[in-house]
A and B are shown apart, each in its own frame.
Chain A
């Protein structure tokens, strides 16, 4: 698949067509790893950024106290060697003692305290995540390598929050250095930010001061936004990139045929769903919501949108999350037109004759799903007007409650509370369903603080069952997580949710060439 000139070197050359595979400083490892992404980065300040493209970079350049194990979903030590709740209000971390930042300076409790104090700041130019640390009262250093969090109450999920990318530990010294205009770029990860050409690529180079025993392999890791999915596929096949994130379902067969390319598939977690505005006519009518749920042919959607590479589900949780109920364990309103029509009648619309709007983003896959839903609902007499928005507007509109139905996605795989609270808790700003259900609120609060895992499991499953009954949303499908890459790609780890960690990935050079 690759031809090309090995002679080209230099910056722009290497971002473009380094398919020949120049050897980097690690023997047998290609100098650079080029990842074709579906979105460009836009902000590398961990506390101000809010999307996945940035996350993927920040997990390479920064580290957190605790990290999530890709395979086991266990919490692993990262900058902290151990941690414990000393009582309901105190969480104590013991830090690694030899950690350093990319600048070479040591990472100590002071940096951690500095980081969290900044995170809790209400100054929107410093932190956008203070809300998630609502129950933390203070953070203090007990000694150079011990940090204590003081909280208002015990929370099952504080640790999970602290695992999040925004909570990456930053360098106090860098922030205090006036001459450093972008102090947030200093982290302790395997790679260091090097260059960003907006719209073209973002380049990261190996951190030569890395303190751990798992350093990066490739000299450079380059993220190259190729927004059009088919273009990424072609670029991969032409050897312009080593990894193609989210290859489109329709083109997988070409990739699978290509002997230089590996297509990796694993069950995904991201849930695409059809949400209702439960506060407003007509979908404040539970029966109607159930009817809609019965009218939607999820298998067809999966076939069309994913070429069959995905799973339908009934639970509102992300697949694979602790306590998730698979379809054989939960009862819901699945595709059944007759039942849908009955429910329509029960809802007070025996002859249909209902017109509703559906808010959807203009991009894939929403623009493909929306017409299918439109066609599905036509069959039970509901006329759907599709209204397309960019994602930001869609969120604003949904928050304002202008939608009848909306298409959206959710991917939170560690924190139960985040899903229950942020999507369904009465009055929560991101509760686009505008659901106000005291039972849901009550259960959510319980699940947050319940220390007994079995009880918590049961509560969570009850809540899932309840949700499946009141249908604030119709969970449509979870796409399989598919990634295609150069067959020589080694050492890659995939986060279950599709948050890729590239810091250990590299392309091995073929010895026989």
Chain B
């Protein structure tokens, strides 16, 4: 156990491992995160593959006479009220859940990071305005905001995306602001000023990159919770409209048949749960990997 190596050699061993590499190394040690990543990769692969396997018009939204068939070898997850294969729809539908949540998180991220960075960096009036309005949005349950927006603008995927990105944005604004405020007070920012770097370079090169860790964690967790929000909205009838094989919409469809055809509810729900679980596992893994407290 006790190897006879000098300090110099020891240092050389760890030489040149950036924080990102360090994080990755720790992430790869985390079983949960690996499971999560593998699941997500498989899911993405499956949904891409489903594009080639199935024909949207006939297999995904088309009609068939094999209605309400329970799970079988032929229809793994059974069929629904218009005879569509639920397995096909679940696999194919992954793209909607993923795209909507990733999309809205991305929009929310951009808006939230900009607002949060401005508020956190400049403080004062900007901070007040941003944070007050953020508080307002924050105090109304997200789902209400989303329901209002979607039902006002009409039920469509784009509106859903918009509605969901608002709640993402509030979250990201908060976290970015808090991060920026912490980082702004760090000595290396002052050091950068002392080196003569202009403000914009400092924000870009030093503040933003150092804010990223919790934001990255937040992104994964957000995508997960947004999948749930999106499906909740579809379930309430204000999300993605019905024939689209979005998981929440499928659940909403299946709800009426829960007794006779429980599988119609079961599988889309399981799909949501497992995907979110995978994202949460990954998020938790990332959090642990990035957490400076555990670094010691």
Contact = CB atoms under 8 A, between A and B. Distances in A.
B63 interface: yes
A367 interface: yes
Give the secondary structure class of A's interface.
Answer: helix
Given A230-B256, A233-B259, A372-B82, A300 B241 contact: no
A254 B257 CA distance: 12
Contacts of A303: 65, 67
Contact of A251 (B63, B243, B253, B260): B260
Contacts of B187: none
A378 interface: yes
B154 A362 contact: no
A253 B260 contact: yes
Contacts of A378: 57
A230 B258 contact: yes
Contacts of B258: 230
Contacts of B30: none
Contacts of B260: 250-251, 253-254
A387 interface: yes
A371 B242 contact: yes
Interface in A379-398: 386-390
A387 B256 contact: no
Interface residues on A, range: 20 to 34
B71 interface: no
B155 A250 contact: no
Among B154, B260, B261, residue most surrounded by chain A Cβ atoms (within 10 Å): B260
A250 B261 contact: yes
Given A254-B259, A386-B242, A375 B155 contact: no
Contact of A300 (B63, B151, B242): B63
Contacts of A388: 155, 237, 241-242
A276 to B, nearest CB: 21
A370 interface: yes
Nearest to A297: B63
A208 to B, nearest CB: 42
A245 to B, nearest CB: 16
A370 B256 contact: no
Interface of B: 57, 61-63, 65, 67-68, 81-82, 151, 154-155, 237-238, 241-243, 253, 255-261
29 contacts: A228-B255, A230-B256, A230-B259, A234-B259, A248-B256, A250-B256, A250-B259, A250-B261, A254-B259, A297-B63, A303-B65, A362-B155, A362-B237, A362-B238, A364-B256, A367-B237, A367-B253, A368-B82, A368-B242, A370-B242, A372-B63, A374-B243, A375-B62, A375-B63, A376-B63, A388-B242, A389-B154, A389-B155, A390-B151
The 10 closest A-B CB pairs, nearest first, are A371-B243, A362-B237, A388-B155, A375-B63, A250-B260, A250-B257, A367-B242, A388-B241, A304-B81, A304-B82
